[in-house]
Chain A
Amino acid sequence: MAVVGTSTKRIDGIEKVTGTAEFTTDIVLPRMIHAKLKRSPYAHAKILGIDTSKAEQMPGVRAVITAADLPDVRLGVLTLDEHLLAHDKTRLVGEPVAAVAADTPEIARAACEQIEVQYEELPPLFDPEEAIRLDPPVVLHEEYEEYEKLLEIADMDERPPNLWQAYRIRHGDMDAAFKKAEDEGGHVIENRYATGYVHTACMEPHGAVAQWSSDGSLTLWAGGQSPYIARDGLAKALDLSPSKVRVIVPFVGGAFGGKLTVKEGAIAAALARKARRPVKIILTRAEDLSATAARTPFIFDIKDAVTKDGILIGRKVTSILWGGGYSGEGILKPIFSTHLYPGSYRLAALWVDSYGVYTNRVSGGALRGYGCAESAWAVETQMDIIARKCDIDAVELRINNLLTEGERTAITMPAHAFSAHECLTKCADAIEWGTPSESLESPWYRGKGIALGNKYSFAPTASSTELKVHEDASCELRTSAVDLGQGAYTILTQIVADEFGIEIDQVKLVTPDTAITPFDHVAGSSRQTFHTGNATRMACDDAKSQIRTLAAPKLEADPDDLDVSGGRIFVKGSPEQSIEVEDLFVVEMLAGKRPADVEVIGKATWEVTASPHDPNTGQGEEPMAYMGHGAQAAEVEVNVETGQVRIRKFVSAIDVGKAMNPQGVEMQNYGGGCMGIGIALHEDMCFDANGEMTNASLMDYKIPSIVEMPLNEYMESIIVEVPHQHGPYGAKGAGEIVVVPTSPAIGNAIYDAIGVRIWDQPLTPEKVLKAWKEKKASGNGSG
């Protein structure tokens, strides 16, 4: 009765299709009131004073808070640089400076308007290349040196005052590589690439509900990606012991990296403490898009040394992450983005200088593919350019440069379960690579493009689970892994059902609640199937071991000779010698049965350690938990009069080690492709000269609608299964790799169609048209 490996229907599906699934936005508590935030209209300003008296006197207002009502602590992921409510300064438009809780959201909003904040405007700084100067025009964090920092950055003679991250890779002899390329008829290819401002734009906006108990403990309901990160963040922000904080995760309406922390939840909690009533905060869509962390832009300068035969022998990269007012969850991006510079390719020399800087815009956060999706844009476009320069087929060129199983990448990651070749060739076959696209009538042109990608899953990390076996042989899994829509609950349920040989509906999942469910690091970095999956298997093993020990005397056998499956315990090799699991839970009495004093709870912690990279060389032992692979290809249709790009065909081939739930993988392939198409073509947060977002609505920030997707017959999902030695059943995660190669695949297809390169995402019609017109003006307009 194998359940793992089958397309089991999602276990949280009934609630979701019947409207009974309760999300944070749906929670209502007795006496609950509503919070709204007063936000800064300035990108950079000193706060001279805040007068809340008018707001406090409004009927229906129950609490007003400013930074003065909160502990004076700075928060952050690894560089603690941010107050919950702005202290003396505001560093981006939309930074919260005060908060109100009132009987209705309307009253709270009106009260926020009555709060008077005196600002002294400071010149804002938006340009990352200005920001990184040793003598920048503006310094955002004057007290940076005093901040608590949990991460070592690369040594620098002098730190540019707006810099918060510096990371280097020094692998191989860079000068020799360029010299060899030049001396031996090869190529040195140098280009600048940029990514845009992208938002997770989850359908469920950020929100939380906070309630205090009379013993001074806090319960927070928030649809985030990690209840434990949320708990610890709340404890720090409000100066509480973590044991006084309980975080419960209801259904989550999408996260994609955008719901790692619960800042607004902490503000709601502070209001609730002051008002002595439960407080709910739900961000408006405009707040959600403009003031919660975004995927902020990178600038990549890449210089490659290539032999005349198209073998990559050296790569030099300088990159700047256009961070925002605070380092936030973007703190590791300048490091993680470097993973793609070698990617799946052999590189004798790799030198990287990667930086992150403060600017007066929205803070940098995580978004599906954390840095890898961004650097893939540069690297995989570069591979296409190299192939054309060397006149070698783009698939063949990539294959010629691939690592082989067991080699180490230039960032010392062992190439294990190395499936790049298989992903690439299956993807190429599906898009009929090598067969030119059909010609269309003017002004339309068709073309194909392909790209390869990786996503590493971070380490060190850990997941714990508990598995309780009930007397009816059903199993209850307690986990703090979060289902964000990706299907984690279903996969973990499948694992338990498989391990115990029981039906799916005999498994009950206890969903994240820090009062009940054990530690799990985060539903991020494609880690849930891999890490929580392993922990779940181990907890099942532990529970089965307890059962065997309990059953051994009853079966007069050695525990090691017993097996547990389908609600029975039996002697291996002689299944007729067996008892029911429920027999363990009862004691026969003269007058009948009574419950036995038995409790079967398996427990396990799966942990992956890692040797951190040296920030000055980028070298380490085995710096990541695993390395994921995938390839995507697109066939596009480009209109050279309007610049419109339509995706005609899309293929996504990803390696998941073992498809725990094949339909779930297909959902990632299609869904990730959809998000990737939006990021590639349309999604772009726009800002005015004051640093305010000008398209903060789902009307104007254009996530794809169904019409931007290819017709179903032109969508293809390919599942590659190269088992990972440490993955449960060999499995690896699928959630992020599916957006990594999308943009370069599409960009390369546009080039194939009309012969123009767009260097900066997104590839909007106006950029395509402009590039086409420039090409025509230079006399190469034949397409």
Chain B
Amino acid sequence: MKYPLSLTVNDENYDILVEPYHTLMEAIRDGIGLTGTKCACEDGRCGTCTVMVDGQLVKSCLMLGLQANKKSVLTIEGLGAPDDLHPLQAAFLEHGAVQCGYCTPGMLLTAKQLLDENPNPTEEDIRSAFVGNLCRCGVYTHATEAVLSVAGEEEK
């Protein structure tokens, strides 16, 4: 049976109905219609569905929608807007950390949590943070550069 789910996504409130077995990823994509959060592996390995729930990074395919009830969710659409990019979004573009773009939303949110917790990460910190985000195009080298560039900026 369906249950009411109340979510604040990117500062907007949504009230939808979901089955208990529906994941947060499905609630965001199918229930709310925000499709920037991707689905690629279905077993929690790839990280394309990464979002933040109450400031904590999570793979939204591994959290039931109802577990996020009354919580605040940040998706890629809330990170920055096309005319007002978040510094990490701009850096990913600038440093060539985007190819096909399917893993990009998840990688950006992972990078955001990293910088939220550790404004001056080392390259090793960045590699540890990205363990849960797979990219088949292999943007890893450039993504590392992008995150380092923003970390440097914030220090200034």
Chain A interface (Cβ within 8 Å of chain B)? Answer: 7, 9-10, 12-23, 25-26, 28, 200-205, 251-254, 256, 284-286, 484-487, 663-664, 666-667, 670-675, 697-699, 703-707, 709, 711-712, 715
* Chain B interface mostly: loop
A285 to B100 alpha-carbon distance, docked (Å): 18
**Is residue B153 contacting chain A, with contact meaning CB distance below 8 A?**
no
Partner pick for A698 among B45, B105, B131, CB 8 A cutoff: B45
Chain B interface (Cβ within 8 Å of chain A)? Answer: 29, 33-46, 48, 75-77, 79-82, 85, 89-90, 92-94, 96, 98-105, 108, 123, 126-127, 130-131, 133-145
Are B99 and A486 in touch, CB under 8 angstroms? yes
Chain B residues near A698 (CB-CB < 8 A): 40-41, 43, 45-46, 134
Are A285 and B85 in touch, CB under 8 angstroms? no
A781 to B75 alpha-carbon distance, docked (Å): 54
A703 to B137 alpha-carbon distance, docked (Å): 10
Are B41 and A18 in touch, CB under 8 angstroms? no
Question: How distant is A369 from chain B, measured CB to nearest CB, in Å?
Answer: 14
Chain B residues near A253 (CB-CB < 8 A): 38, 40, 100-102
Are A18 and B85 in touch, CB under 8 angstroms? yes
Sample (9) of A-B pairs whose CB atoms are under 8 Å apart: A10-B96, A17-B89, A23-B102, A28-B33, A205-B40, A252-B100, A666-B142, A671-B139, A706-B144
Partner pick for B76 among A18, A286, A486, A711, CB 8 A cutoff: A18
> How many A-B pairs with Cβ below 8 Å?
178
Known interface pairs A204-B102, A675-B136; 5 further A-B residue pairs with C-beta atoms within 8 A, sorted by A's residue number: A20-B82, A23-B35, A253-B101, A670-B140, A697-B45
Given A203-B102, A253-B100, check contact A704 B45 (CB 8 Å). Answer: no
Given A252-B100, A284-B42, check contact A17 B108 (CB 8 Å). Answer: yes
Given A26-B35, A663-B96, check contact A715 B141 (CB 8 Å). Answer: yes
Given A13-B93, A18-B81, A698-B41, check contact A485 B99 (CB 8 Å). Answer: yes
A370 to B90 alpha-carbon distance, docked (Å): 35
Are A16 and B43 in touch, CB under 8 angstroms? no
Given A13-B93, A485-B99, A707-B131, check contact A20 B142 (CB 8 Å). Answer: no
Chain A residues near B45 (CB-CB < 8 A): 697-699
Are A203 and B134 in touch, CB under 8 angstroms? yes
Given A17-B92, A19-B77, A698-B45, check contact A674 B99 (CB 8 Å). Answer: no
Given A14-B93, A19-B35, A254-B137, check contact A484 B98 (CB 8 Å). Answer: no
A10 to B139 alpha-carbon distance, docked (Å): 14
Chain B residues near A26 (CB-CB < 8 A): 29, 35
Are B140 and A18 in touch, CB under 8 angstroms? no
Partner pick for B135 among A7, A203, A205, CB 8 A cutoff: A203
Given A254-B136, A285-B41, A697-B41, check contact A670 B141 (CB 8 Å). Answer: yes
Given A25-B39, A711-B123, A712-B141, check contact A202 B96 (CB 8 Å). Answer: no
Are B136 and A201 in touch, CB under 8 angstroms? yes
Are B93 and A9 in touch, CB under 8 angstroms? yes
Chain B residues near A671 (CB-CB < 8 A): 99, 137-139
Chain A residues near B108 (CB-CB < 8 A): 17
A251 to B101 alpha-carbon distance, docked (Å): 9
A670 to B117 alpha-carbon distance, docked (Å): 28
Partner pick for A674 among B44, B77, B94, B138, CB 8 A cutoff: B138
Top-7 shortest CB links A-B: A19-B36, A674-B138, A485-B100, A16-B101, A253-B102, A671-B138, A19-B76
Partner pick for B127 among A12, A202, A203, A706, CB 8 A cutoff: A706
Chain A residue at minimal CB-CB distance from B129: A706
Question: How distant is B98 from chain A, measured CB to nearest CB, in Å?
Answer: 5
Chain B residues near A709 (CB-CB < 8 A): 138, 140-141
Chain B residues near A7 (CB-CB < 8 A): 96
Chain A residues near B133 (CB-CB < 8 A): 706
Given A671-B138, A709-B141, check contact A18 B36 (CB 8 Å). Answer: yes
Are B89 and A485 in touch, CB under 8 angstroms? no
Given A19-B37, A204-B40, A667-B99, check contact A256 B136 (CB 8 Å). Answer: yes
Q: Tell which of B82, B99, B103 has the most Cβ of chain A within 10 Å.
A: B99
Chain A residues near B79 (CB-CB < 8 A): 18-19
Q: Tell which of B93, B99, B100, B126 has the most Cβ of chain A within 10 Å.
A: B100
Chain A residue at minimal CB-CB distance from B94: A9
Q: Tell which of B33, B40, B130, B131 has the most Cβ of chain A within 10 Å.
A: B40
Chain A residues near B138 (CB-CB < 8 A): 670-675, 704, 709
Chain B residues near A15 (CB-CB < 8 A): 82, 101
Chain A residues near B142 (CB-CB < 8 A): 666-667, 670
Chain A residues near B134 (CB-CB < 8 A): 203, 698, 703, 705
Are A12 and B101 in touch, CB under 8 angstroms? yes
A711 to B34 alpha-carbon distance, docked (Å): 35
Given A254-B136, A485-B101, check contact A706 B89 (CB 8 Å). Answer: no
Question: How distant is B61 from chain A, measured CB to nearest CB, in Å?
Answer: 11
Chain A residues near B135 (CB-CB < 8 A): 203, 674
Chain A residues near B136 (CB-CB < 8 A): 200-203, 254, 256, 675, 703
Chain A residues near B77 (CB-CB < 8 A): 18-20
Are B100 and A202 in touch, CB under 8 angstroms? yes
Are A19 and B100 in touch, CB under 8 angstroms? no
Are B103 and A203 in touch, CB under 8 angstroms? yes
A446 to B75 alpha-carbon distance, docked (Å): 43
Chain A residues near B76 (CB-CB < 8 A): 17-19
Are B46 and A712 in touch, CB under 8 angstroms? no
A667 to B41 alpha-carbon distance, docked (Å): 24
Q: Tell which of B35, B89, B102, B108 has the most Cβ of chain A within 10 Å.
A: B102
Chain A residue at minimal CB-CB distance from B126: A706
Are B100 and A203 in touch, CB under 8 angstroms? yes
Question: How distant is A208 from chain B, measured CB to nearest CB, in Å?
Answer: 16
Given A18-B82, A699-B41, A707-B127, check contact A666 B96 (CB 8 Å). Answer: yes
Are B100 and A712 in touch, CB under 8 angstroms? no
Partner pick for B46 among A12, A203, A487, CB 8 A cutoff: A203
Chain B residues near A252 (CB-CB < 8 A): 100
Chain A residue at minimal CB-CB distance from B86: A17
Are A712 and B94 in touch, CB under 8 angstroms? no
Chain A residues near B130 (CB-CB < 8 A): 705-706
Chain B residue at minimal CB-CB distance from A738: B138
A484 to B81 alpha-carbon distance, docked (Å): 23
Chain A residues near B96 (CB-CB < 8 A): 7, 10, 663-664, 666-667
Chain B residues near A17 (CB-CB < 8 A): 76, 80, 85, 89-90, 92-93, 98, 101, 104-105, 108
Partner pick for B145 among A22, A25, A712, CB 8 A cutoff: A712
Question: How distant is B136 from chain A, measured CB to nearest CB, in Å?
Answer: 5
Are B137 and A485 in touch, CB under 8 angstroms? yes
A200 to B147 alpha-carbon distance, docked (Å): 27
Chain B residues near A673 (CB-CB < 8 A): 138
Question: How distant is A651 from chain B, measured CB to nearest CB, in Å?
Answer: 13
A250 to B76 alpha-carbon distance, docked (Å): 19
Chain A residues near B137 (CB-CB < 8 A): 203, 254, 485, 667, 671, 674
